[in-house]
Structure 1
Amino acid sequence: MRALLVVNPKATTTSGRTRDVLTHALRSDLKLEVAVTEYRGHARDLAREAASDGAVDLVVALGGDGTVNEVVNGLLAHGPSERVPRLAIVPGGSTNVFARALGLPNHPVEATGVLLDALEHRRERAISLGKAMTEGLPDRWFTFTAGLGFDAGVVGRVEEQRRSGRKSTHALYVREALRHYVTEREHRKSGPVTLELPGRAPQPGLVMTIVSNTSPWTFLGNRPVVPSPGASFETDLDVFGVTRMTAFGTARTVRQILRPHTPSEQSDPPRGPSGKHVVSYHDVRHFTLVSEEPAPFQVDGDHLGDRSRVSFTGVRRALRVIV
């Protein structure tokens, strides 16, 4: 099998030595070409070229969620098709949310072992993805989550801290979430975002909107975050929103989102957050988020600036992943 290994040399948990070991292991089973990213967006460009010229059957992303998201967007630059190379992931970032959502080990060497075993036994999975569309800007595919409003503001704060040299940890996300809560006092009372669903009355006043493509996922270490427990890689998108963030109500919602799901409950329908100010929709194919003023926007933990209107669509069986 012909493969392209896309390496992010700045990946948080991957050293040059580890990269060399992984490359050697993959070359034992694959006709492997290695490309090292040199700028933001380079992984997307490399994957797009691989998908366009038909030179490879598999693209392996070695890096964090940002690298994986770029590779996915490159592979699907012209949309899903049978000609698109398969995707494999070797986690090398600080959180590796998508890789863990697929059930992969968080350690790059262990994940490489799983990848080689999956290739030997021809294990792959066709997964659904989400696509975010803003007029005048390129469409953006996402693998596990997107958001407009409060949660995206937290992601933006974390990125600012990382640019100043802070390491991305679950403690950093918690700290920045608390700081953002304090500074967004006015928006906590009545949010600027309206959810527009085909065939339904608009839902205005959203402070926070989280779009999920799978469940659970998390930026908080091994602690699962479950805003939409019914979301999966086999369905369309789920939407979770909050119209008011009081101190008591927010604490209650956070407890519900972080509520563990014990093995004895596995046969029961999953329970999502509930409450007077909670809005939730499951398995939605098309919808739009409209903000009265530009609001922070993120996909897969990557802050993309402020947006006033973003349309979303779920695309089933959009990509084949080696697992």
Structure 2
Amino acid sequence: MRALLVVNPVATTTSARTRDVLTHALASDLKLDVAATEYRGHARRLAREAAEAGTDVVIALGGDGTVNEVVNGLLHNGPDPDGDLPRLAVVPGGSTNVFARALGLPNHAVEATGALLDALHAGSERTIGLGLAGGTPGTRDAEVPSRWFTFCAGYGFDAGVIGRVEGQRERGKRSTHALYVRQAMRQFLGDRQRTQGSIVLRREGQEPVEGLVLSIVCNTAPWTFLGNKPMYAAPRASFDTALDVLGLSRLSSAAVTRYGTQLLRSSPDRGPHGRHVVSLHDETEFTLQSQVPLPFQLDGDHLGLRNSVSFTGVRRALRVIV
């Protein structure tokens, strides 16, 4: 079986020695090529070339950003309902690894490699749905290229937090959960839109939902992890359905305390709830718009400011080894 291992050499939780051990373990069972990423977007190009070359499996060794790039490379020409593209495999190496953990994989690279080899021997795989986000026709963002995401997108407050975290990482800070918490507090204190939101959610044939401050789009559950604690923004989200949305219309100090506590106590049966909460399940197509440009993120990757983003939930988009 031909396989390509796409390695992020600066992945947060793997050392060069660990990566060498994993590579040798995989090469013992696969006809393995290894490529290390050198710049942002490189993993996407490597995965696209592997798909065009007829590779059987593409393995992403890195965090959620590396996985996202690999997925977008594999699906450069569209989804894979017939199974003609390489299968995706993941070895977690980032700080959070939401996608790998949502698939039920161990959060330790060595253990995940063992699970991957067992799955390859057993022929164990599943076909998952993905989200697709792109520009909205008739808006200033109409020409923005579409991009796939595996577990979540955010428009507004949470994307602003991620933008702050990326800025700190560019200054040499290490990606930790404490860093995210600090930047969330700074985003809260500096966000002028948090008491009266500008986001409008539009669906064909439905009344618009207006005045949102925060909008999180989930393709699976949990939404993220705080250490080993899973947090469920949209508990019913699943790789087997379309997209779920959590929207908040208010982020006062009291609201942040209330909904933050609900997130910390969330479970597969219950997420944030209350008067200022909007929860939508299994939505195939919708648009988030704002007259004021707002930050936007996909799978934890900050993509700048947007006035509008259109979303599509695509079932059975990609095969994954699990």
| TM-score above 0.5, yes or no | yes
CA distance in 2, matches of 1:209, 1:132: 14
Q: Aligned partner of 1:206: which letter? A: L
Contact 1:169–1:221 (CA under 8 A) maintained in structure 2: no
Contact 1:144-1:300 within 8 A present in 2 as well = yes
Structure 2 gaps, min length 5: 136-141
The answer for the alignment partner of 2:53 in structure 1 is 53
Alpha-carbon distance between aligned partners in 2 of 1:30 and 1:217, rounded to the nearest angstrom: 33
1:159-170 matches, cutoff 5 A = 159-170=166-177
Q: Which runs of 5+ in 1 are unaligned?
A: none
1:1-323 to structure 2, matched below 5 A, reads 1-54=1-54, 56-81=55-80, 82-134=83-135, 135-184=142-191, 186-261=192-267, 270-323=269-322
Equivalent pair of 2:266/2:272 in contact (CA under 8 Å):
no
Are 2:8 and 2:62, in contact at CA under 8 Å, matched by a contact in 1? yes
Q: Which amino acid is the alignment partner of residue 211 of structure 1?
A: V
Rounded to whole Å, the distance in 2 between the matches of 1:232 and 1:34 is 31
Moved more, 9-18 or 110-119: 9-18
Q: 1:75 deviation in Å?
A: 0.3
SS at match of 1:210: strand
CA distance in 2, matches of 1:84, 1:27: 21
Letter in 1 for 2:39: Y
User: How far did 1:219 drift?
Assistant: 4.4
Distance 1:157 1:10 in 2: 20
Deviation at 1:260, TM superposition (A): 4.3
Q: Are the counterparts in 2 of residues 169 and 220 from structure 1 also a CA contact under 8 Å?
A: no
Contact 1:98 1:217 in 2 (8 A): no
**The residue matched to 2:130 in structure 1 has which SS?**
strand
Residue 271 of structure 1 and its aligned partner are, at CA, apart by 2.2
1: distance between equivalents of 2:105 and 2:130? 18
SS at match of 1:274: coil
Give the superposition deviation at 1:248: 1.3
Q: 2-side partners of 1:197 and 1:258: how far apart?
A: 30
Give the Cα separation in 1 of the matches to 2:205 and 2:264.
Answer: 32
Q: CA RMSD in A?
A: 1.1
Could you report, residue by residue, the CA deviation over 1:186-234 in whole angstroms, capped at 9, with x for unpaired residues? 3112111100012111111110000001111314221212111100111
Q: Which amino acid aligns with 1:38?
A: E
Give the alignment's TM-score, normalised by structure 2: 0.95
Aligned letter for 2:64?
D
Structure 2 Cα separation of the partners of residues 2 and 294 of structure 1: 45
Q: Say whether the 8 Å CA contact 2:223–2:233 is kept in structure 1.
A: no
Task: Please say if residues 197 and 250 of structure 2, whose CA atoms lie closer than 8 Å, have aligned partners that are also in contact.
Answer: yes
Deviations 1:25-69 (A, max 9, x none): 111111111111111100000001111232x11000011111110
Structure 2: distance between partners of 1:305 and 1:226: 25
Q: Residues of 2 paired with 1:139 and 1:153: CA distance?
A: 20
Distance (whole Å) between structure 1 residues aligned to residue 284 and residue 299 of structure 2:
18
Matched AA of 1:276:
R
Q: In the TM superposition, what is the alpha-carbon distance from 1:87 to its structure 2 partner?
A: 0.3
User: Paired residues, what number?
Assistant: 314
Q: Which moved more, 1:148-157 or 1:128-137?
A: 128-137
Residue 193 of structure 2 aligns to a residue in which SS? helix
- Residue type at the aligned position of 1:234: D
Equivalent pair of 1:148/1:297 in contact (CA under 8 Å): yes
Q: Take 1:127 and 1:235, find their aligned partners in 2: how far apart are those partners?
A: 9
Q: Is the 8 A contact 1:193 1:290 kept in 2?
A: yes
Question: Structure 2: which amino acid aligns with 1:13?
Answer: T
- Aligned equivalents of 2:193 and 2:225: distance in 1? 24
Tell me the secondary structure at the aligned position of residue 189 of structure 1.
Answer: coil
Q: How many angstroms does 1:320 deviate by?
A: 0.7
What amino acid sits opposite 1:139 in the alignment?
S
Give runs of ≥4 in structure 1 deviating > 3 Å. none
Identity %: 66
Distance 1:94 1:279 in 2: 29
